[in-house]
Amino acid sequence: MYSIKIILHYLKLYKKQYFLLGIQMTVAFALIFIIRSSEISLELRQADAESESKVSFLVEAGADTDTKMLSELINRFIEENAEFGLQCIVNGNLYIVSSDSDISSLFGPFRLALQPCGEQITITYYDSMEMMKSMGNGIAYFTNILKIIMVIVTLVAAVGFTGYVMLTLLQREHDILAAYLCGASLKKLLFITGTELIAVGTFSLALGCGLGYILTPTMSSFGASGIGLYRITPQPEAFLYAFALLIVIYAIPILAYGVRMRLYDPLVQIRKEEN
């Protein structure tokens, strides 16, 4: 297809401008993807935490702790309070005592029961929802910073895009007239130039979301705590969000471009160039 050959020709000819435009858009889309994924992940995790709001007691053994005694003391406590259905999971030097029932009232007696182990151990009261919230705060804070960056990048990209669209048209007017005189319809020429812009936009969207997909998990580190990572996972919905933003932000310049091309008058252009 000849049109494709011409589209590729101009993509190559204006590769520097298209490259810069593509980078701006890619960064904007990657940020949008990460931010949106983080926000959705935050909501999901918090909902999880709320649905199974759980209190656990964490016991961290020190280097010189008599772990045998600690285990015995914990097991005895579990037996003594059998009606609560307590369980203990051991993970290295960490002992996690939890139950499906509400055990918040047991924390005092639990500490008391472990007193024979001395100062070597640290006992913490762990509320999964509270914990999730405080870990989430770190991520939410960083997400907000990213949002500001995103707004700036997106605005710059949109302004750059509009400017670029108008510049392209100015640079192209001569070539468009030449092609028109050679028998190309204005519709086809509008299609060719429009396709270049859409190609760059689509490619950036794919690349940006791909990049966002890879980078999203790194957001977890802003919500790390002693007992684990706050999971931030890429969300497919974030792609739709980026896509919607592409349409909202770039619809205006593309529309302006279409209108400008519709108004393109070969006669005006001939008179401009012949004189």
Partner 1 sequence: MLELKNINKSYHDGSTDIHVLKDLSLKAEKGTVLSIMGRSGCGKSTLLHILGGIERIDSGSYELDGVRIDKCTPAELTKIRSQKLGFVFQSYYLIKSLNCVDNVEVPLGYAGIKSKERRERAMAALEYVGMGDYAERSITKLSGGQQQRIAIARAIAASPSLILADEPTGNLDSETAETIIHLLVKLAEQNGITLIIVTHDDKVASTAHEQYILRDGMCVHA
Return residues touching partner 1 (CB under 8 A). Answer: 2, 5-6, 9-10, 13, 174-175, 177-185, 188, 266-267, 270, 273-274
61 touches 123 (CB < 8 A): no
Q: How far is the CB of 258 from partner 1 (least distance, A)?
A: 17
Q: How far is the CB of 272 from partner 1 (least distance, A)?
A: 10
Radius of gyration over every alpha carbon of the chain, rounded to an integer in angstroms: 31
Of 13 and 214, nearer to partner 1 (C-beta) is 13
Q: How deeply is 207 buried, as exposed, middle or buried, from its count of CB atoms within 10 A (0-12, 13-18, 19+)? A: middle
User: In b/e form, how buried is each residue of 88-106, taking b as 16+ CB within 10 angstroms?
Assistant: beeeeeebebbbeeebeeb
Of 259 and 267, nearer to partner 1 (C-beta) is 267
Q: How far is the CB of 215 from partner 1 (least distance, A)?
A: 37
The continuous run of DSSP H or E covering 163 comes out as helix 128-181
Of 63 and 267, nearer to partner 1 (C-beta) is 267
Q: How far is the CB of 255 from partner 1 (least distance, A)?
A: 22
Helices (H), 52-96: 67-80
- Residue 44's identity, in one-letter code, is L
Question: DSSP secondary-structure letter at 225?
Answer: B
Q: How far is the CB of 188 from partner 1 (least distance, A)?
A: 7
Q: How far is the CB of 197 from partner 1 (least distance, A)?
A: 18
CA distances from 136 to 46, 149, 219 (A): 8, 20, 11
Of 69 and 178, nearer to partner 1 (C-beta) is 178
- Cβ neighbours, 10 Å, residue 272: 12
Of 84 and 180, nearer to partner 1 (C-beta) is 180
Of 76 and 262, nearer to partner 1 (C-beta) is 262
40 touches 221 (CB < 8 A): no
Of 151 and 178, nearer to partner 1 (C-beta) is 178
Q: How far is the CB of 164 from partner 1 (least distance, A)?
A: 17
The continuous run of DSSP H or E covering 91 comes out as strand 87-91
